[in-house]
Amino acid sequence: MTTRESTPPTFSARLPGTRAAHSRMSATRRREALQGFLYISPWIIGFIIFVAGPLLASLYYSFTYYPLLTKPTWVGLQNYNTAFFKDRIFWLSSWRTLLWAITTVPLGIIGSFFAALLLNRAVRLKTVWRVFFFLPSLTPEVAAAILWLWILQPDVGVVNNTLKAWFGFRGPNWLASPSWALPSLIIISLWTGIGSIRMLIFLAGLQGVPQELYDAGMVDGVNWWQRIRHITLPLISPTLLLNLVLGIIGALQVFGLAFVTTGGGPAYATYFYGLHLYETAFRSFDMGYGSALAWFLFTIILVLTLIQISLSRRWVYYAGDAKD
Amino acid sequence: MQASTSNRLRTNSWYRTRKEIGNTLFLLFTALLSISFLFPFVWAISSSLKTGFEVMAYPPTLLPKVPQWYNYVQAWQEADLGRFFWNSAIVTGLSLIGQVLSSFVVAYGFARFRFPGRELLFILCLSGLMMPVYVTIIPLFTMFRALGWINTFKPLIVPTYFGSAFAIFLLRQFIQSIPLEFDESALIDGASRWTILTRIITPNCQPALATVAIVGFMTSWNAFLGPLIFIDSAKNYTLPLGLWFLKGTIDDGLPRDHLLMAGAMITTFPVLLIFVLAQNYFIEGIVMSGIKG
């Protein structure tokens, strides 16, 4: 096919039938391309209607005053100005969310990694332990929230009751306490997050580490930590990167858990960015300001992702074949 | 010579005992940790089967004296969770069909056809994974409002018929791992592209399809923000929304936590069931799709 295309035109013009054959080839190619577009057309249409269109619309709304019932009116940078310089809750919720991300993401990833290491070792009833670790991650977010509200209930909850019965010790108010609410939510997120699909992916990654490498390490007399640090970690670093990127994107959008358990309280202790955005856009119906908040978050996520990808060149190791 | 052999034997047996102790300690540690992970779950089930007063007993008891199965009936009927359950079932069922079918067709298009701009479009598709929901949800709300779709299931179902980025990615990876020779020999036999999809690609894609179906089921069944925004009357609530609603409405001083726990379990059981049914496929799908790297 390539040889035919590279044939000089003067020569091909002289041969009867070559032109026809050539156009038949490109017709096949054209048909293939057309069919390809047809197959992906659901996504193209959906992308335009449900992603790209709304994306641009919210960018436009972010420069307008738009109280839903009237048409948007252009106000320039006023919404951004309000967010950065006037809205105290904006900064408060931003820092709360950042704190949430820098605690839950590393703890979750490290937790999943060590759980995978633990469950990868030959131990009796291994499958049973794996299921025990994995079950919490299947609990729907709202169900997990309701469940933990009950477990951490200050007066009759099982945690505080057990503390009292066994140690005669009054536990904290957990989700009802301004200083304990955020740590409580972190505990809940680790409960659903550690044994999740992430742990399964780490397990798969660990099983993909060639045994020869560990054997070679044994010969060199490396200890447990050196083995993890210099053999396991480099080999699963692509998985780590993916989890880090997706984990941060997810953590910055945290909503349901806090909305159901604390509603953002007490005293704004768990008032995350998503809650502020929801209240702005869907309780006060200030669509313009809500869109500005959304675009600020989007920009932060883009920047953080690009930083992580460019930093990753220093620590992510791709074995010879990227597919493996 | 003899001395050294017995010496070696001794160290060997000492080594073995030490290893045995180590293994037992390790087993104990793993067991303790995984049981503490499971505990909140067990506690919720146990609470859901206690009476309203037993549930608050001090000191706490691990198991209910007499399992109150009626709690589930009460949660289902009086708390109206039955209605929410069926709402969720309709939304999840229809979304699942839409998501799997459309993503599969699109993934096939990306995997097996050459066309200009394919790589760019695929990257665009993946970029959807990075986009926070908030950045599109406000215009989507105004759009669905203009269409008169607010307070119907349509905003939750219709978008799933246009493929999901994650599902397209996973299925494309999987389709690419099927040898191209399969397609080519079928083409020579005169099969159409559609026949290849249904007769050759589909049977070879089952683990990936199962994975996509499970993930799609969980996303749809667990969804909270979307239903919260798009549905405003309680009769159309999905199960997570209904559970949240129930929590807000039963603050009347009576002990009703056992009903909430029953509700939480009713919400969780279908996910467990689906997972148990398809778990082998699921894990294979995750591992083979190469998301690990």
Residues A232, A224: contact at Cβ < 8 Å?
A: no
> pLDDT, tens digit, for every residue of A270-283?
999 999 999 999 99
CB–CB of A294 and B225 under 8 A? no
**Distance (Å) from the C-alpha of residue B6 to the closest C-alpha of chain A?**
25
Considering only CB atoms, which chain A residues are within 8 Å of B264? 139, 142-144, 146-147
Cα–Cα dist A275/A93, whole Å: 8
In B161-293, where does DSSP find H-type helix?
165-176, 180-188, 193-195, 202-204, 206-222, 225-230, 239-249, 257-288
Q: Tell which of A30, A51, A127 to mutate to test the B interface (max B CBs under 10 Å).
A: A51
Contact yes or no for B34 and A249 at CB 8 A: no
Of 2.40.37.10, 3.40.50.300, 1.10.10.10, 1.10.3720.10, which CATH number belongs to A84-315?
1.10.3720.10
Per-residue buried b or exposed e for B16-49, using 16+ beta carbons within 10 Å of the residue's own CB? eeeeeeeeeeebeebbebbeebbbbbebbbbbbb
Query: Residue A16 above 50 pLDDT?
Result: no
Q: Are B139 and A50 inside 8 Å of each other by CB?
A: no
Beta-carbon separation of A256 and B225 below 8 A: yes
> Looking at residues B113-118, what average pLDDT do you find?
92
Contact at 8 Å (CB) between B162 and A43?
Answer: yes
- pLDDT digit string, tens, across residues B129-153: 889 999 999 999 999 999 999 999 9
Q: What is the dihedral of CA B262, B268, B269, B271, to 10 degrees?
A: 170
Least confident residue range of A44-58, B90-104, B163-177: B163-177
ipTM: 0.86
Residue B128 exposed, middle or buried by CB count within 10 Å (0-12, 13-18, 19+): buried
Say yes or no for a CB contact (<8 Å) between B140 and A50.
yes
DSSP code per residue over A94-128: HHHHHHHHHHHHHHHHHHHHHHHHHHHS--TTHHH
Q: How far apart, in whole angstroms, are the C-alpha atoms of residue B175 and residue B162?
A: 19
Which residue type, as a one-letter code, is found at position A272? F
Single-letter code of the amino acid located at A116: A
Considering the four listed CATH numbers 3.40.50.2300, 1.10.645.10, 2.60.120.10, 1.10.3720.10, the one that applies to the domain covering B71-288 is 1.10.3720.10
Q: What is the pLDDT of residues A52-109, one digit of tens each?
A: 999 999 999 999 999 988 889 999 999 999 999 999 999 999 999 999 999 999 999 9
Place of tokens 């998985």: A239
The residue extents of the domains of chain A are: 2-61, 84-315
Query: What residues does B44 pair with on adjacent strands?
Result: none
Query: Mean pLDDT across chain B, nearest whole number?
Result: 86
